[in-house]
Amino acid sequence: MGTSGDDGGAACDKARLQCRDGDKACDNPTLPSWARLSINRCNLPAVILGSYTYQQHPSPLVLDGVLELHCDFFALLDAEASEAVRLQLFYDYMSVSFRLDALEDAGYSASISRKRGRLNYLKLIRGWHFNSDSVEGAVLKAWVESRFGLLPRHHRAPIRDFSGEAYRLYLEQRAAGLYNTNALEAQLDLVYTWTQYELKRRYPDTTHFTLFRGLNRWEAHELLGAHAAESLVLLNNVNSFTFERERAEEFGDSVVRTKVPLPRIFCLARFMAERLQGEDEVLAIGGVYGVGSAR
């Protein structure tokens, strides 16, 4: 039953003036259909996890089967209070599980003409830091596409036509990077899941990090609208951020600031600082972000 309105009629929660809150489509855009797959391998569909609403109100993202497959490893972490010891447990577990120090056990042979690929999770992250449009970059974008359903929007050039040259190059580099590697995508599954575990333990009351990103040719980015003082932009399906504005200035002629939900973080380089020397990047999956100028 509605209550009485100023004009003597019954008030209704659908009345135009009562529900007006500026929530136009351009104020709160969903992830466009041409930037996502209809299926993925986690607990939320791409249309939700890639949306602006999710950026504002995140919930945990869980990759299918990873916690179950590696339950003994995470039980070991639960029993360990030291961050340094947990990190070493992670390195050791990755090496043993994926035979990273014994590639012969995984099929490598010096006598065959096409040798087993040597790309692993650490080399891939280092390769991304050096050049996100490299083979390593294509593999990481492909992993995000597979696991979260977010399609790449840029690889060496904007990807707008999935029958075009830019997308074909991405597919070629993705295939080359994944060819004959030792369960590389499964390695990345564990990197993401371990990173999320550590974020929850180290920052239990934190939902977002305020981060910075250096950009070139801002006008070439896919702007979807605006909300308050922020521009709503569709970012690539993987992106680099940093905690320091001065650091971001080294990578573009303009710097933007945004709040990155912790569940969107794939890798926090400071968690593995000794093996990712000189880098303090945050790699986060993309989608729609509200960004503001850092100036």
pLDDT band, very low/low/confident/very high, at 29 (cuts 50, 70, 90): confident
Which residues, listed in sequence order, are joined to residue 150 by a DSSP beta bridge? 36
Phi-psi region of 183 (alpha: psi -120 to 50; beta: other; left: phi over 0): left
**What is the average pLDDT across 48-60?**
97
What three-state secondary structure class fits 249? helix
Cα–Cα distance between 74 and 90 in angstroms, integer? 9
**pLDDT band for position 105 (cuts 50, 70, 90):** low
Q: Which of 80, 77, 76, 124 is nearest to 100 (CA)?
A: 124
The string of DSSP codes covering 75-130 is: HHHHT---HHHHHHHHHHHHHHHTTTT-GGGGT--TTSSSPPP---HHHHHHHHHH
Confidence of residue 119 (pLDDT cuts 50, 70, 90): confident
236 confidence band (pLDDT: 50, 70, 90): very high
pLDDT, position 120:
93
Encode pLDDT of 131-164 as tens digits: 999 999 999 999 999 999 999 999 999 999 999 9
> What was the pLDDT predicted at 1?
42
> Residue holding tokens 């599980």?
97
Contact between residue 73 and residue 93 where contact means Cβ atoms under 8 Å apart: yes
Q: Say if residue 5's pLDDT is above 60.
A: no
Q: What is the pLDDT of residues 170-181, one digit of tens each?
A: 999 999 999 878
Instruction: Note whether 147 and 63 are within 8 A (CB).
Output: yes
Q: Indicate the pTM of the whole model.
A: 0.87
> Which tokens belong to 8?
């003597």
Residue 189: which of 141, 143, 139, 246 has the closest Cα? 143
In Å, how far are 106, 182, 192 from 90, measured between CA atoms?
20, 17, 12
- What token pair was written down for 53? 């609403």
Q: 251 φ, ψ to 5°?
A: -115, 10
Strand partners, 254: 215
User: Over 90: is that where the pLDDT of 49 sits?
Assistant: yes
Nearest Cα to Cα of residue 193 among 88, 265, 139: 265
Three-class SS string for 119-160?
CCHHHHHHHHHHCCCCHHHHHHHHHHHHHHCECCCECCCECC
Give percent of the chain with pLDDT exceeding 90.
Answer: 74
What's the residue count for the chain? Answer: 295
* DSSP H/E element including 288: strand 281-293
Percent of the chain residues topping a pLDDT of 70 = 84
**Average of per-residue pLDDT across 15-19:** 41
CB neighbours of 134 closer than 8 A, spacing ≥ 6?
127, 128, 173
| Residue 87: half-sphere exposure toward Cβ, Cα within 13 Å | 13
Mean residue pLDDT of the chain comes to 88
Report whether pLDDT(184) > 60: yes
